[in-house]
């Protein structure tokens, strides 16, 4: 009986880690395909999105910039995606990825390190904080 009780938290954390990775990849899919319904689901209402430039967006301004075309993601290609489940409702992802965005009609490649904070609310893992930093190409 003790063995089963000790195994439950690890199994739960494994399930949570898979769900967080799905949410992480859902964000990438949403921004590269302009799937705004998916982004509404995966982004927390109180999102703080800090770009590698230092610019900060809320959920409303982030999605608004995507809808208007001010921001355009062409590619998010993960090189590393590590999930750490901190509590039953909080997890982080630490990622390295190659991005291509569009700026003034021209491709803008970027190699970025990402730190994402996810919170589970109503059974759904949502991105509540994004911080990125540029890495050498």
- Asked if the model's pLDDT at residue 2 lies above 80, the reply is no
How are beta strands 124-135 and 43-50 bridged, if at all?
Answer: parallel
Whether residue 9 has pLDDT greater than 90 = no
pLDDT of residue 5: 46
How many structural domains is the chain composed of? 1
Domain harbouring 66, CATH code: 3.10.450.50
- C-alpha angle 130-135-137 in degrees, rounded to nearest 5: 130
pLDDT for the residue numbered 1 = 46
Share above pLDDT 90 across residues of the chain, in percent, rounded to a whole number? 85
Confidence class for position 13, pLDDT limits 50, 70, 90: confident
Q: Please check whether residue 14 is in contact with residue 7, taking contact to mean a CB–CB distance below 8 angstroms.
A: no
Q: Mean pLDDT in the chain?
A: 92
Element spanning 25, H or E: helix 2-33
Task: Give the pLDDT confidence of 32-67 residue by residue, as tens digits.
Answer: 999 999 999 999 999 999 999 999 999 999 999 999
Q: Which pLDDT value is given to residue 119?
A: 98
What pLDDT is stored for residue 103 in this prediction? Answer: 78
DSSP letter at 136 equals -
pLDDT of residue 137: 77
* Structural domain containing residue 77: 2-135
């Amino acid at each position: 009986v003790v063995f089963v009780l000790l195994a439950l938290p690890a199994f739960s954390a494994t399930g949570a880690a898979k769900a967080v990775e799905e949410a992480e990849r859902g964000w990438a899919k949403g921004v590269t395909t302009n799937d705004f319904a998916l982004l509404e689901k995966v982004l927390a209402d109180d999102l703080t999105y800090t770009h590698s430039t230092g610019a900060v967006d809320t959920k409303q301004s982030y999605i608004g910039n995507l809808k208007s075309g001010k921001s355009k993601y062409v590619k998010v290609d993960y090189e590393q995606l590590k999930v750490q489940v901190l509590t039953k409702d909080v997890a982080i992802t630490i990622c390295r990825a190659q991005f291509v965005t569009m700026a003034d009609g021209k491709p803008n490649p970027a190699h970025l390190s990402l730190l994402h904070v996810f919170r589970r609310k109503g059974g759904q893992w949502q991105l509540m904080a994004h911080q990125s930093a540029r890495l050498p190409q």
